[in-house]
Chains A and B, each alone.
Chain A
Amino acid sequence: MKGYHDIAGDGGSRILDQIAEQRTRVADGLAGVRHLVAVGSGKGGVGKSTLTIALAERLRARGHRVAILDADFNGPSQARMAGVQHAVFVPGREKAALPRTPTGIGVFSMGSVIPESEALDFESAARGESHTWRATREFALLGEILGAFEWGSLDLLIIDLPPGADRTVQYADFFGVRASFVLVTIPSQVARGVVARSVAALSSRPNRLLGYVENMSGYYCRDCNAVKPLFAADASAGFGIPCLGNVPFDPDLARTCDFGLLATALRDSAASDAIDAIARRLLDELNEDQP
């Protein structure tokens, strides 16, 4: 009797061919992107999204072609931070044009599609059982987005990841070896413990770990023009990967993120200086020359 591998095809639906075609569409869509940099952590609330848009702004200011993919479909924040909540999606010749910020950063965020008063939901034959299929559906949607928008010719596509060490690794598997990772932590043992798990999980993959950023590394007081401690003194060792920099918490930066005004906030502060240094370090790690 014939076995599975003795039979070519599946009798009609070509499921494996369809999966291969999906992957080809994703690869074609990203063919013009030089560097895929995923910003993750594992821990939520450490400032992944803030660092993502801030890095994109600094890189754009240096003349690089940059876009952001907000891969956190369930808690998208880039639309608000980048000021593209009410973006108009325009059909191009074959694909949809990517909304852009006033400074020229392309941004796809589910926050441009779904109002903040609603949660992402899918039609389902198995409603109430989303734990059995939802992650698969979200990655299929990610593939659809990557294949359907014009990412064009980019120096960097920065991917803002959702929290979860497991999710971080799933994105490594989805994007494959060409995606490099930057992990974000804060100076707390709880956060560092979760980030250490993400480092361990990613270490089993071929993806490059560019380094980590310690966010909320002190508190920037504009009145004193000084950085003061925000967390208890932390003498923890690193994660065995490069430290790309430390960013102090800046209330003004946080406030302007809420209003999509980051570009104007990124001036003359300890936080902006730190992010600029991280952008330079990131370019060095990627061996990316100035344009």
Chain B
Amino acid sequence: MKFLCVPCDSPMKLETVDPDRGSLSVVYSCPECGYEIAMLTNAYETQMVQSLGVKIGPAGAPAESAGKCPFGAMIPAAGTAAAPASADPAVVRWTMEAEARLANIPEFVRPMARTGIERFARERGVVEIDETILDAAREFFGM
């Protein structure tokens, strides 16, 4: 979808995107005359864009529409970047490098990955998960 400032015959630029209860308020402005318009989506339109798995907004803006875990409503730990392991008596730490690798995998499998790898580490008497442990787990579990 593109927007054209008819008086200037100039393509309008996306300025801001604000989500609001299932709607997106998308503001465009004309770079020639500065005139602004807002496109306000209904829930169907918002959802269709979300379903494509794309992000609406200026380049570099935080993603509102596409970054959510598809199972957020059904997996309690989903979406929490660093689920605490403190409930277990043997607390396992993650190095920054290991956390970075965890962040590379799809959000909807991260909680399961964290839990499984911490169990793998504890079973081997390891209290810090680093890239070496991840490589060992990958060799053990993965293809």
Contact = CB atoms under 8 A, between A and B. Distances in A.
Contact of A99 (B43, B48, B72, B143): B143
Given A125-B22, A132-B47, A88 B137 contact: yes
A122 B70 contact: yes
Chain B interface size range: 35 or more
Contact of B109 (A7, A89, A122, A137): A89
Interface of A: 1-2, 4, 7-15, 18-19, 22, 67, 87-100, 104, 106, 113-114, 118, 120-126, 129, 132-134, 136-137, 140-141, 143-145, 148, 150, 152
B74 interface: yes
10 contacts: A2-B4, A9-B2, A13-B56, A14-B59, A15-B54, A113-B71, A125-B46, A125-B50, A133-B48, A136-B48
B9 interface: yes
B87 interface: no
Contact of A22 (B9, B50, B53): B53
Interface of B: 1-4, 6, 9, 11-15, 22-23, 28, 43-44, 46-48, 50-59, 68-74, 101-102, 104-106, 108-109, 112-113, 116-117, 119-120, 134, 137-138, 141-143
A150 B142 CA distance: 9
Given A7-B2, A123-B70, A90 B141 contact: yes
Contacts of B113: 88-91, 96
